[in-house]
Amino acid sequence: MALLSVKEMTHRFGGLVAVNSYNLTLEPGQIMGLIGPNGAGKTTIFNLITGIYCPTEGKITFNGQEITGLRPHYIASLGLGRTFQDLRLWRHMTVLEHVKMARYSKIDYGFTGAFLGTPKRKKQEAQATEVAMSLLEMLGVDSLADQVVLNLPYGAQRRVEMARALATDPKVLFLDEPTVGMTPEELSQMIQIIRTVHQKFGLAIFLIEHRLKFVMELCQRIQTLVFGQVIAEGNPEEIQNNPKVIEAYLGEEKLD
């Protein structure tokens, strides 16, 4: 059984069909890429699956449970974590606080524990700190744990956002443009980070990315989206040589 299945998903904004009869099968541990021109509907697909939007039509099943139209926080609690194209970080919080905040869905000491400082609260807070620090260390930003996140370089902020997503213990991780704004050196580092995350946690990963070299290196399968509709799906070599992809997305030249 597929970990994530999307069947005939369509979404309309008024009279505009933003996503048209979209289908996806994501297997456990698979890395899938979604490419396409700006405005093709890629982030809209992420928002539909993760509950930010409710599809006009179609069915979404995650880990055997239908999640169509469920609230984002509930979908996240089931094991679907994500990052965002535009960083959504809290201005007043430190790096460590960002990641610990994502662990609170795993905490159950309640109001009594929060106000009275019960042993259960102390234990779970210590565990949250330990998990958060281990994730920051894995992503190479543990030395920045006490800094306010918006004081960090852009690449480091991206790593913090990924650590926050991983802190929810996801079964599948959605990455929306994880290398946007990065230098070539930061891009190479991000490739290694994603590989490390994939190997360590055995996650399925679904990513949107405009840098095709990045997608071709990481992904086992790739979908190409144009005007809200998938025009091609296959392995990197098949996508690289697909005439429809070359015409619609890559232009006259084939991908090197």
- If phi > 0 it is left, if psi is from -120 to 50 it is alpha, else beta; for residue 153 that is beta
| CATH superfamily, region 1-79+170-256 | P-loop containing nucleotide triphosphate hydrolases (3.40.50.300)
- Residue 33 burial (CB < 10 Å; 0-12/13-18/19+)? buried
Question: What global pTM score does this model have?
Answer: 0.90
Q: In which band, very low, low, confident or very high, does the pLDDT at 252 lie, cut at 50, 70 and 90?
A: very low
Per-residue pLDDT reduced to its tens digit, 17-30: 999 999 999 999 99
What is the Cα–Cα distance from 211 to 49, expressed in whole angstroms?
Answer: 23
User: What DSSP designation does 106 have?
Assistant: G
Domain boundaries, given as residue ranges, for the chain: 1-79+170-256, 89-168
Phi, psi for residue 123 in degrees, rounded to 5? -65, -45
How is residue 25 written in tokens? 């099968």
DSSP string, 84-113: -SS----TT-BHHHHHHHHGGGG---HHHH
Between residues 116 and 237, the one the model is more confident about = 237
If you average pLDDT over every residue of the chain, what do you get? Answer: 90
CA atoms within 13 A on the CB side of 51: 18
